[in-house]
A and B are shown apart, each in its own frame.
Chain A
Amino acid sequence: MFSGFMINAWQVGTIVAIVAGVVGFVVVLRGDVFAAHAVPNGAFAGAAGASVVGLSPLLGLGVFALIAALGIGVLRRFGQRDATTALVLVLSLATGSALLSQSTQYASSTYALLFGEILGVSSAHLIPLLALGATCVGAVALRWRALLLSAVTPDIASARGLRQGRLDAGFLVIVALATTMTVPVVGALLVFSLMVGPPAAARLLVSRPGRAMGLATLLSLVVLWSALVAAYETNWPVGFFVSTGSTLVYLVARRISQHGTE
């Protein structure tokens, strides 16, 4: 379990889990959960398109994640936050499926994009993943205070002269970057669970923002590592275990927090 391609999986999984924990925490804090579901679907369309024209799927993934994120950012400025996000999501999925219909091969690579295949991520990806991950975590750290205040009291933040539109768009770009790195590992449809489950669980248990984010990252690591072990033992897809693990962590946290308040 700790040799050859599995070493690679452990390394990649660890990076992805940390980024998902940190970025996911801010996603949940800002109520961007739906957007965090839509952006990976844009990414999926991009990867599908790239493989049809023979480009690197990772490139298509990144570019389309960015387009989806900025599209959501622009559209929702004029209201109807959920509706616009939903339209971007559906349009992305439709584009992805249309592009894939042009491709006669790679059925299994499509499957990997949607549901993830951590074992398929080669060691050549390690450095780019590390760079992307550091960028995401660094950007959140740099704007941490502004992100916090504007999430809780947007009007106060605006009145202080913080530019919400920019902050919002900037954070969606971070979500797009985080998506680009996590989609190949856990898949476009399942990224969401890793970004939402552990942070939602952590904030039930801890009331300090920094510590809650730390716990979210820790839980995210625990979920991903357990999923790797389970996948290795059973030969089932990692994404399945990541999703069930995230849900489980959330339910346990909820149980504990209800117990604590009674």
Chain B
Amino acid sequence: MPDALSVEHLTVTLHGRTILDDVSFSIQPGEFTGLIGSNGVGKTTLLRAILGLQPYETGTISVNGEPRDLQHAAIGYVPQKIALDSDVPLRVIDFVTLGLDAERWGLRRRSAAQRDRVAALLEAVGGAHLATKRLSELSGGEQQRVFIAHALVREPSLLLLDEPLASLDPRNVQEIVALLHRLAHEHHVAILLSAHEMNALLPVMDRVVYLTGGHCASGPTNEVVQTDVLSALYGHHVDVLQVHGRVFVIAEPNDATDNLPEHPTLTVH
């Protein structure tokens, strides 16, 4: 079976600055992968390159063994929270339905099966009660659920999510993570989810792509999140501590700490 996603030797330069430098990794079908790194490290740029929204200098991106441009329908995308004018006339159900056939010409009516599918997906993401609300009225957690339903309605084999957990309350974080976990394991959707904080993902994350300074380390989570691997990646010594099932990456004093992922309880003296 081909990789769900394969990124090889990807280099992206923005305004003369190298954002991603020879980044390579791959994801298997049904694998839950965390794309971890601090803010501004290039997570969004990497996702945008995979989505075809960001041109890149060199490298190859394939989805299901084919060039990504041939695999639009296989990729679902959940962007960061977007703000809409409150009067945008589009309901949740309209938006999820658009996920089916936005590129189709004309106004042909959707079949009963398609409408059932939209309703079932909204139910599955815990958003059935939102169906007739305006998209613009949703809270952060609600919007994530609806966007996930929108992305899934075409049955993608790869789902990309850009910081879906940022600014969610702990209950919503848990619910969304559990939902995505089910998707990966029961429906074999490969998931690549970016986050600046990995602790909420540790129980479900099969693989990690750890990004810093334009480089990445990738592999099974417990092999990558190690003192020696991350020290090599950062180019200076960092300690990886595990406390009660949570992971903390801590830099030496005087080292550049601004490259570290954010941890709510991390203090560096």
Chain A positions near chain B (C-beta within 8 angstroms): 29, 141-146, 148-150, 152-153, 155-162, 200, 202-204, 206-209, 211-212, 257
Complex: A159 Cα to B44 Cα, angstroms: 13
Chain A residue at minimum C-beta to C-beta distance from B80: A155
In the complex, the answer to whether A152 meets B150 with C-beta atoms within 8 Å is no
Say whether B112 faces chain A, with CB atoms less than 8 Å apart: no
Complex: A47 Cα to B84 Cα, angstroms: 38
Chain B residue at minimum C-beta to C-beta distance from A147: B102
A142-B105, A155-B51 given. 10 additional CB < 8 A pairs? A141-B106, A146-B103, A149-B102, A158-B51, A158-B52, A161-B69, A200-B87, A207-B134, A208-B89, A208-B94
Residues of B with C-beta under 8 A to A156: 77, 79, 150-151
Chain A residue at minimum C-beta to C-beta distance from B82: A153
B57 CB → nearest A CB, Å? 20
In the complex, the answer to whether A203 meets B88 with C-beta atoms within 8 Å is yes
Residues of A with C-beta under 8 A to B77: 155-156, 159
Complex: A84 Cα to B72 Cα, angstroms: 32
Residues of B with C-beta under 8 A to A142: 105-106
Residues of A with C-beta under 8 A to B79: 153, 155-156
From 121 to 151 in chain B, residues with beta carbon under 8 angstroms from any chain A beta carbon are 132, 134-135, 150-151
In the complex, the answer to whether A152 meets B88 with C-beta atoms within 8 Å is yes
Residues of B with C-beta under 8 A to A146: 102-103
Say whether B107 faces chain A, with CB atoms less than 8 Å apart: yes
Complex: A84 Cα to B101 Cα, angstroms: 33
B153 CB → nearest A CB, Å? 12
A204 CB → nearest B CB, Å? 5
The 10 A-B pairs with the shortest beta carbon distances in the complex, nearest first, are: A212-B89, A161-B72, A149-B102, A159-B51, A203-B89, A159-B77, A203-B87, A149-B98, A145-B102, A207-B134
Complex: A211 Cα to B91 Cα, angstroms: 12
Chain B residue at minimum C-beta to C-beta distance from A216: B89
B52, B98, B135: the one contacting A145 at CB < 8 Å is: B98
26 example contacts (A-B, Cβ-Cβ < 8 A) are as follows A142-B106, A144-B107, A145-B101, A145-B102, A146-B102, A148-B98, A150-B102, A152-B84, A152-B90, A155-B79, A156-B150, A158-B53, A159-B51, A160-B102, A160-B103, A162-B102, A162-B103, A202-B89, A203-B88, A203-B89, A207-B89, A207-B91, A207-B134, A208-B91, A209-B89, A209-B90
A167 CB → nearest B CB, Å? 10
Residues of B with C-beta under 8 A to A202: 89
Say whether B95 faces chain A, with CB atoms less than 8 Å apart: yes
From 41 to 98 in chain B, residues with beta carbon under 8 angstroms from any chain A beta carbon are 51-53, 69, 72-73, 75, 77, 79, 82, 84, 87-91, 94-95, 98
B56 CB → nearest A CB, Å? 15
Chain A residue at minimum C-beta to C-beta distance from B53: A158
Complex: A200 Cα to B88 Cα, angstroms: 10
In the complex, the answer to whether B101 meets A159 with C-beta atoms within 8 Å is no
Say whether B244 faces chain A, with CB atoms less than 8 Å apart: no
Residues of A with C-beta under 8 A to B107: 141, 144
Known interface pairs A141-B107, A159-B75; A148-B90 also in contact (CB < 8 Å): yes
Complex: A211 Cα to B104 Cα, angstroms: 20
A101 CB → nearest B CB, Å? 41
Residues of A with C-beta under 8 A to B90: 148, 152, 207, 209
